[in-house]
Amino acid sequence: MSKVVAGMTISLDGFVCDSRGSITMLYSDFESFLGSEPQRESFERTGAVVMGWNAFAMATDPDWFSDHYEYQVPIFVLTHHIPVKHPRETEKLTITFVMDGAESAIHQAKSAAGDQDVTVIGGANTIRQCLKASLVDELQIDIMPILLGSGLRLFEDIGFSPILLERSDLADLPAGRTHLKFRVLKQATEEMRG
């Protein structure tokens, strides 16, 4: 069954980047991370990706995605401005810029993904928008054993109501990375908010 999966790597104190905006310390194990079982499973199950503009802009050349991005699937980028030059695409990887919010991006991505999952890879603001709108079915968090002390927090301002989760997986990965997978208990959360 298709689902919307949101995930990021965070520091033990909850930051997705340091105070300079760098993610380097969170991905010191990048090569082994890409080859890990949870990541391989994600590549296989993902039929479309949703990401925010900042995550998309991390690639200094937007054409990089067509030949190098791990997810060779349709990508839906949340943005306020469509770039003048459209990035290069392939038969498998297309890029759609979505200007009317996270709900629209998820809807379009689900249509493109078919029976496969929609993976929301960030940034933090995009994942928060999806959580607030009850669009996420599964939350995958990787925790690196580092305290950054400051930066951008993933779970800053996700709303006033609790979001109930049920842990469905826990794995210790190389470099001290801890992989956590949670089901988002939407019905129970809605009842609590009700």
Range among 60-74, 85-99, 155-169 rated most confident: 85-99
Q: How confident is the model at residue 30 (pLDDT cuts 50, 70, 90)?
A: confident
The tens digit of pLDDT for each residue in 130-183 reads 999 999 999 999 999 999 999 999 998 887 788 999 999 999 998 899 999 999
Range among 47-51, 123-127, 161-165 rated most confident: 47-51
pTM of the model: 0.91
In percent, the amount of the chain with pLDDT more than 70 equals 95
Which 3-state string (H, E, C) describes the chain?
Answer: CCCEEEEEEEECCCEEECCCCCCHHHHCCHHHHHCCHHHHHHHHHEEEEEEEHHHHHCCCCCCHHHHHCCCCCCEEEECCCCCCCCCCCCCCCCEEEECCCHHHHHHHHHHHHCCCEEEEEECHHHHHHHHHCCCCCEEEEEEECCCCCCCEECCCCCCCCCCCEEEEEEEECHHHCEEEEEEECHHHHHHHHC
At the topology level of CATH, where does 4-193 sit?
Dihydrofolate Reductase, subunit A (3.40.430)
